[in-house]
Each structure stands twice: as C-alpha cells, then as structure tokens.
Structure 1
C-alpha cells in the first residue's frame, strides 16, 4: 500500500511542472505576393514578298498587216495565215515578282515581381518574480523527492 502511494505521489509531483520564467513569442507573418507584367512591342521590319504571276493567254486575228499585243511579262508570236490574215499569239511567262512590304514582328516580354514576407518566431524572456504557489511547487518537489529517497533507503536497510 505504501509503495503504491509513493509511486502515485512521485508521478503526481513529476506531472506537476513549474516554470520559473514566462516566454513570450513574437511572430511576424510570411506572405508571398507575385505580380506578372506583360509588355508587348510591335516592330515593323522591311521585307520582300515574292508574288507569283499566273500564266495568261491572249490572241488576236486581224486582216491588217500590223498587229500589236503587249504585256510586260509576255512573249509574242505573229504570222500571216494562208488566207491572208495575221495571227498574233501572246503568252506570259510564269514568274515571281518581288514586292517590298513591312512585316510585323510582335515581341512579348513578361517580368515577374515577387515580394516575400517571412514569419519569424522569436522567444523573448520576460523577467519577473515567482509567485508563492510556484515557490511552493519548487520546494514541494524537492521535499517529496527527499522523502521518496529516504523511503527507498529505509526499505533497503530493512532487507
């Protein structure tokens, strides 16, 4: 019975803690803030585009001895038919023509702005005197520990 009582008292005294000083915790918040800024810039660059000219055909028959067909990209053939008429044939050559233009080039640039705020915890000791109850707890712990040690010592002597 006494052994159980001493174990119970020892357990209660160990659970009954004391803190001679109070700790104050200061906190600062941590936040992440991200902002993306997109810049678009349009640049006109001189460029050459090749335009394909389609093939064309033109014919003309006349009773005159002179015939004229003209195209800046064509070839011309003329002849007199057996019945006395003039046949004139004009054919364009398939080719590409260079044309100067302005080409639009669009540049996109994005800039990421990131602000970080950290949350920091610091322990700050606040000095103050112990209350009467805290002093009693401290003294009571050592008193119970001494009694427990004395009981253990006396039990060994009895054996």
Structure 2
C-alpha cells in the first residue's frame, strides 16, 4: 500500500484494532518517508451485490453512495459520522444476509429510512422528501403528522 501523501510504499503500523462491529480491522499507519499518519481499514471481500434500479437497469451496490446520501440528509444535524457508518453497516449486513445477491433500489431506500428514523427525525424527513419525491408542502405535513411523538419512536415503524 502506498502513502496517500507521498506515494512511498513503506509504512509502519503503530495501532491496529477491530472496527465496524468486528467486520473490519482499523490500522493507523505512519509513512517511513514523509512521516505523515493515515488510517486504513481491512475488510473481507464480499460477493458482489447488484442493485436493480426502478427503470430495470442493474448496477453494483455502492456503499459510499449510500453513506453520502445519509450524510446529506444529516447535514448540520447532531449526528456523528460514526453513527452513520454504523447505519450503513447495518443496512449492508442486512442486504448481504439475503440469499439473493440482487436487491431492488427501493429496498435500500426503505432500509435507509428505517435507520434514519431511529437516528434523527429531521434527517428522516429530509431523506423521505427526496426518496418519496415530495412535490408540495402537504407531503411534508402528512409525514410529520404521522410521525410518533418524541420518546415513542423506537416502538413504531417508519411512516
């Protein structure tokens, strides 16, 4: 592996620990040439998962695309990147646990909404508005009206 700063191939690992609920190993490395530090993650290679788009097209599942959509929904909200990584790991684990290696994009969207529903109500509404293509204010009012009161969200399912 090359240093992302100078491209030198030699580094030393000075910290190694489990990450992502034991599904990966996080390593802190220091480049022997420039001395800068960086983090790497090692994960077992998984089988390829294909996403079936609403128009019928197929594409490979992209974990980063899912994470970026959650980050966008949580913009300027008190949600840590670690919590969103955990949400993506939960979704990814559920998708790979299915016997089929193809999944509808709608299923990924629904799982993302379930995770956001538990994390942050505003992020849930933001994501839902894009995912469900809200086109008028009454769509927002309806989803807010159907949401459970604070403190009761964990007992219900997303709207």
TM-score by length of 2: 0.13
Higher relative contact order (CA 8 A, sep 6+): 1
Considering fraction of residues, name the structure with more strand: 1
TM-score by length of 1: 0.13
Which structure has the larger Rg? 1
